[in-house]
Amino acid sequence: MGPRVTILDYGMGNIFSIERAMRKLGCETVLADSPEGIAGAERLILPGVGAFGKAMEELERRDCVRAILDYAASGKPLLGICLGMQLLMREGSEFGGGRGLGIVEGRVVALKGEDMDGRRLKVPHIGWNGVCENGKEASWKGTILDGVGWDSSFYFVHSFVCVPSDQGAVLAETSYGSERFPSVIQAGNIHGCQFHPEKSGPLGLAVCRNFAFNTPEKGCGDAIRKDAGQAA
């Protein structure tokens, strides 16, 4: 059996798709819905589909916020997927806004949904789209995008995007109309994908494999804001 990967089950994620992908890679999977389950994780995935505020409510209702912050601060690998990546930010703007986990400094904003001439594009952004380097291609080596080629396509379903305060946390970007948004972030042991790797075929499995097998069991933890505990 490969690495043990814990998937946070709080009622707002593609739990079984992620579980199948990880098992296909030979990982042992565990579903967690409590602080105890999070604390015992070796590698943790925070999935998410739906509204930012509702997701935070569910995490708080299960007393999971503090446990996630403590886990992130431990330096062990954490991967947020789609809404799960957005929850890593300090603040969301959906339906009037609200606080996020605050693990990575930044905000979540609505997609503009406009082409280069200002014409409206469909939102949510649904379908396959490419990811491009934020910097040199060599920057992907040793990350969850290791071995993924320039402009490789992944499957997206979202209406909001992350805007990290530190551009250095942006590992890859994706274009939709006139807008270019962060599609992969990494800050220390914290990783995030705006796309769904579990629904993105072989390349998505490569991302999952990199997270499960290639990220160190203990990172530097430098993604954690010193005041992140205020989100609890």
Active site residue 162: no
Q: At 87, is the secondary structure helix, strand, or coil?
A: helix
Active site residue 196: yes
Q: Where are the beta strands (DSSP E) in 1-77?
A: 4-8, 28-32, 44-46
Q: Which of 82, 162, 193, 208 is catalytic?
A: 82
Distance CA 5, CA 40 (A): 11
Q: Which of 19, 105, 173, 198 is catalytic?
A: 198
**Gyration radius from the chain CA atoms:** 16
Active site residue 114: no
Q: What would the two tokens of residue 94 be?
A: 């959906």
Q: Which of 19, 64, 196, 208 is catalytic?
A: 196
Is-cis flag, bond preceding 124, omega within 30? yes
Distance CA 5, CA 27 (A): 7
Q: Which residues are catalytic?
A: 82, 196, 198
